[in-house]
Structure formats: structure tokens, C-alpha cells
């Protein structure tokens, strides 16, 4: 397995490249529009062919590069089926494991941050990895006050789908704002200040209700653009990222 953790500093987003050594095929989880050139050059350096992009959810803080990558490479676009996006080629659900060459990614339905959010598990004897999107972050979790989010639902997703994984499963989140890269299931179960350490459902709901977070500055642009798989035809999005203009028309 070939693995890269890639970072976009403006939104603090991690994109994950997972490649199969045998087949030379790769997937990008949660790619960011502004980082297309970087991602294509990493693929080229590693000698990998992008077979599809894969989203954990419809993001509110950045625009996906899925549509641009499909235009440039001919890859497919995978999104949670429940999001119902006409632009997606692959409808993701828990019933259908995804493959990248000989690698298997198991979708885990983890709603609460958004109502269709999925995490992805690569189960391997040496090191299992779970890509948790915004469901579970390092010492945190995604907010639950937009996009049909719900704190109780997120608590159950984390406890039933993520905290039940083996202790040493590596947890790779979609964001970190403090230069941390990875954590483990056991560490978050024991120490996550919002949802770990034996926090009850009621305590978690109380914590989430009192976060007092600002309105996400990109949400009004990013969500509509991402519902088009990041197709940057609307003027606001194109203005943010000149490279997206190539797609217009
Ligand atoms: Fe998010």
C-alpha cells in the first residue's frame, strides 16, 4: 500500500492518497480544489493512476477538486449515496466495500456532523487505518450545527462505529489546526475532551450546544459548489480560485 497525507493550509484540510502497489491505482480522499496541481504531481511522482475521488461528506469549508480531477484524468467521483448528487459516478454506502486494486476501503456510516457523512476503514494486519472525515478529529470532532448535523447522532456514530474499532487503529481526520497528523482509536476513546473519557451522551450534547462557533466563512460558497462535485461554474467560486476558470463553459 502506498500512502500520503497531504495538507491544505487555508482550510486546514487533510487529503489522503491511497495507492495499490500491485495495480498502480489510487484514490484521493477529500481532495481540495486549490491543490489539484500538487495532487496530480504526487500521483505522477508515485507512478499512480487516479481511479476515483472519494468524499467523506459535503464539505462546508473548502471546495472539492473532484470534478476538476475527473476532467483532467478521467477518474470517477464517489460520494455518499445519501447525498444524492447527480454529478457522482459511484454511490457509496455501507453495504458495498470500495476497492482500489487489491486494497479494500470499508465505508462506515457515521452521521452527525452531516446527515450523510461516511468514514472509511482500511483493515490490514500490519496497520489498520480509518479516515474519519469531520466525525472524529484529534482531541475534537466536527461541529453539528449545520448541514442537518445532530450532536446525539454524532455521539452514537463515534461510539458505535469508531470507538468499537481495535485500539491501535490509526485515525486520520479531515482536519487539524494544530499540526497534529494522526491519532489512534484508544487515544481518542480515552482522552478526547468532547466525546472520550467516558463522556455521556448528555454531556456531549451540552458541550456541542455551547461551542459558540462563528458562522463558517466558506459555507455559502462551498456547499453549493460541492453539491456540483466542485464544478466551479458559479462566479463566486471561480473568483476564489482562478484555476477553476478552466472549467467554465
Ligand atoms: Fe465538514
| The pLDDT of residue 121 | 98
Q: Write the pLDDT tens digit of every residue in 68-107.
A: 999 999 999 999 999 999 999 999 999 999 999 999 999 9
Q: What are the residues facing 77 on neighbouring strands? A: 53
Residue 113 CA to ligand 1 center (angstroms) comes to 7
Q: How far is the first Cα of the chain from the last one, in angstroms, to the nearest whole number?
A: 38
128 touches 76 (CB < 8 A): no
| The pLDDT of residue 91 | 98
Residue 175 CA to ligand 1 center (angstroms) comes to 9
- Tell me the HSE value of 238 on the side-chain side, using a 13 A CA sphere: 10
In this prediction, residues 7-31 reach a mean pLDDT of: 97
Residue 58 CA to ligand 1 center (angstroms) comes to 7
Question: What does pLDDT average to over the chain?
Answer: 93
Residue 21 CA to ligand 1 center (angstroms) comes to 30
pLDDT of 241 higher than 80: no
Residue 60 CA to ligand 1 center (angstroms) comes to 6
Residue 13 CA to ligand 1 center (angstroms) comes to 10
In angstroms, the CA 82 to CA 87 distance is 13
Of 244 and 156, the structure prediction assigns the larger pLDDT to 156
Q: Which CATH architecture has domain 2-247?
A: 4-Layer Sandwich (3.60)
Residue 59 CA to ligand 1 center (angstroms) comes to 5
| The pLDDT of residue 239 | 55
| The pLDDT of residue 245 | 40
In angstroms, the CA 195 to CA 154 distance is 9
Residue 47 CA to ligand 1 center (angstroms) comes to 30
Residue 219 CA to ligand 1 center (angstroms) comes to 10
Residue 27 CA to ligand 1 center (angstroms) comes to 20
66 touches 53 (CB < 8 A): yes
Q: Name the pairing type of β-strands 129-133 and 13-19.
A: unpaired
Residue 95 CA to ligand 1 center (angstroms) comes to 23
231 touches 173 (CB < 8 A): no
Q: What are the residues facing 27 on neighbouring strands? A: 18, 52
Sequence-separated (6 or more) residues with CB below 8 Å from residue 3? 16, 17, 18, 19, 129
| The pLDDT of residue 246 | 38
Sorted by where each begins, the domain ranges of the chain are 2-247
Q: Write the pLDDT tens digit of every residue in 117-159.
A: 999 999 998 889 999 999 999 999 999 999 999 999 999 999 9
Residue 61 CA to ligand 1 center (angstroms) comes to 7
- Nearest alpha-carbon partner for 157 in 145, 147, 169, 165: 165
Amino acid at each position: 500500500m502506498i500512502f500520503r497525507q497531504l495538507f491544505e493550509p487555508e482550510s486546514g484540510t487533510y487529503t489522503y492518497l491511497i495507492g495499490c502497489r500491485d495495480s498502480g491505482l489510487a484514490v484521493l480522499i477529500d481532495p481540495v480544489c486549490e491543490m489539484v496541481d500538487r495532487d496530480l504531481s504526487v500521483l505522477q511522482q508515485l507512478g499512480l493512476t487516479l481511479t476515483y475521488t472519494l468524499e467523506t461528506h459535503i464539505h462546508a469549508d473548502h471546495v472539492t477538486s473532484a470534478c476538476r480531477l475527473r476532467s483532467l484524468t478521467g477518474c470517477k467521483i464517489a460520494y455518499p449515496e445519501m447525498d444524492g448528487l447527480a454529478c457522482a459516478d459511484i454511490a457509496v454506502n455501507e453495504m458495498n466495500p470500495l476497492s482500489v486494486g487489491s486494497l479494500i476501503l470499508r465505508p462506515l456510516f457515521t452521521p452527525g456532523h452531516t446527515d450523510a457523512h461516511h468514514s472509511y476503514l482500511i483493515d490490514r494486519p500490519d496497520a489498520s487505518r480509518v479516515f474519519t472525515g469531520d466525525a472524529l478529529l484529534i482531541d475534537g470532532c466536527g461541529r453539528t450545527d449545520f448541514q442537518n448535523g445532530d450532536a446525539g447522532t454524532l455521539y452514537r456514530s463515534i461510539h458505535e462505529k469508531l470507538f468499537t474499532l481495535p485500539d491501535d487503529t490509526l485515525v486520520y481526520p479531515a482536519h487539524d489546526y494544530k499540526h497534529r497528523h494522526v491519532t489512534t482509536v484508544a487515544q481518542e476513546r480515552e482522552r478526547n475532551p468532547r466525546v472520550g473519557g467516558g463522556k455521556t451522551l448528555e454531556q456531549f450534547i451540552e458541550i456541542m450546544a455551547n461551542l459558540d462557533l462563528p458562522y463558517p466563512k466558506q459555507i455559502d460558497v462551498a456547499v453549493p459548489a460541492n453539491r456540483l462535485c466542485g464544478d466551479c461554474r458559479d462566479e463566486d467560486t471561480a473568483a476564489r480560485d482562478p484555476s477553476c476558470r478552466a472549467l467554465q463553459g
